[in-house]
């Protein structure tokens, strides 16, 4: 969807598909921290909560 977005490679991203087949990205951090939008406006370019799914990479890489 948005390969240029941080959410694309973030371990907190959840993919949600509705009945009409549209796909949305839900930020898992929103459940525990109201500072994070449930469905962040894409593309996300800066995010303090970002954690790469690739554990060899650091924050905001």
Q: Is 10 in the site for ligand SF4 (CB under 6 A)?
A: yes
Q: Is 20 in the site for ligand SF4 (CB under 6 A)?
A: no
Cα gap 56→29, rounded to integer Å: 21
**Around Cβ 8, how many Cβ atoms within 10 Å?**
15
DSSP strands (E only) in the chain: 13-17, 23-27
User: By CB under 6 A, how many residues form the interface with ligand SF4?
Assistant: 13
Q: Is 34 in the site for ligand SF4 (CB under 6 A)?
A: no
Q: Whole-number minimum distance, CB 23 to ligand SF4, in Å?
A: 14
CB-nearer residue toward ligand SF4: 13 or 16 = 13
Taking every pair of C-alpha atoms in the chain, what is the biggest distance, in angstroms? 37
């Amino acid at each position: 969807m948005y390969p240029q977005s941080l959410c694309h490679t973030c371990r907190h991203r959840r993919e949600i598909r509705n009945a009409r087949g549209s796909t949305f990205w839900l930020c898992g951090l929103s459940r525990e921290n109201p500072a994070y939008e449930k469905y962040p406006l894409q593309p996300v370019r800066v995010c303090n909560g970002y954690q790469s799914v690739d554990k060899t990479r650091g924050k905001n890489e």
